[in-house]
Amino acid sequence: MRIITWNVNGLRACLGKGFMEAVSLLDADVFCLQETKMQEGQAEVDLPGFAQYWNSAQKKGYSGTAVFTRRVPHAVQLGLGIEAHDQEGRVLTLDYGDFYLVNVYTPNAQRELTRLSYRMQWEDDFRAYLVGLDEKKPVILCGDLNVAHREIDLKNPKANKRNAGFTMEERDKMTALLASGFCDAFRWLYPDKQDAYTWWSYMGQARAKNVGWRIDCFVVSERLKDKIQEVQIFDGIFGSDHCPVALTIAL
């Protein structure tokens, strides 16, 4: 099974920047999108053979997730079932019978860390949600996790120590998630690989210089890690400030 995760930073904009061509090129079973910034039906996404599932933010033009899948799930859940977290369209869970696929767009702590305290509560509640799912059957989590877990996961760790996405608080929450029975699929395969990034600022020619962060990830239940075949970062595909990431897993 081949799954793509991609923060498209506005699907309507991405549709005009080669999205459909990228879908054809990537040729996956499932596409998990984050930051769609739209309601279902606001743009035509013509993908024959794919079922479409959307979780849009109440605030129009903000946040949002979507899943386009050739393999129809048994059931779909929008959100965590916690009202405080379910206004921004950040989570889609697909029950595929023998595993759960969770698509997430993790809240950003924001400049000056104005949303860090909310982010900490989100992390605890989201981890509890994933652990609850994992008690029933294995989980594949993917999406924009908005955290570079280790120094190897961003170009300039020292300069970003107290910036959103690289605070010790956020990194510790990622550590806690992995300690709860989960595995970072990319680091499982490539523990020491450097300069592997999935997001680049639009400022200062960051992408051309590969000054980036690896914040778009696949995290899987520990008991699935031996089924991971490949994780690929498609940094040559544009259309967003993030690039697609693919997981190939024997399921």
Exactly one of 53, 96, 100, 105 is catalytic; name it. 105
Tell me the backbone φ, ψ of residue 151, rounded to 5 degrees: -60, -30
Which H or E element spans position 232? Answer: strand 228-233
Structure-token pair, residue 83: 């009202």
- Which residue bears the tokens 């029975």? 181
- Which of 144, 153, 184, 216 is flagged as catalytic? 144
Distance in angstroms (rounded) separating the CA atoms of residues 59 and 77: 20
Integer Cα distance of 209 and 103 in angstroms: 29
**Is residue 85 within 8 Å of residue 125, measured between CB atoms?**
yes
* Active site (annotated) includes residue 62: no
Between strands 75-78 and 91-95, the pairing is antiparallel
Contacts of 71 (CB under 8 A, 6+ apart): 1, 29, 30, 96
Quote the distance between the C-alpha of residue 22 and its chain's center.
17
CA distance 168 to 157: 11
In sequence order, what DSSP letters do the residues of 153-218 get, joined into one string?
GBS-TGGGTTSTT--HHHHHHHHHHHHTTEEEHHHHH-TT--S--SEE-SSTTTTTTT-EE--EEE
**Catalytic residue status for 105:** yes
Active site residues: 105, 144
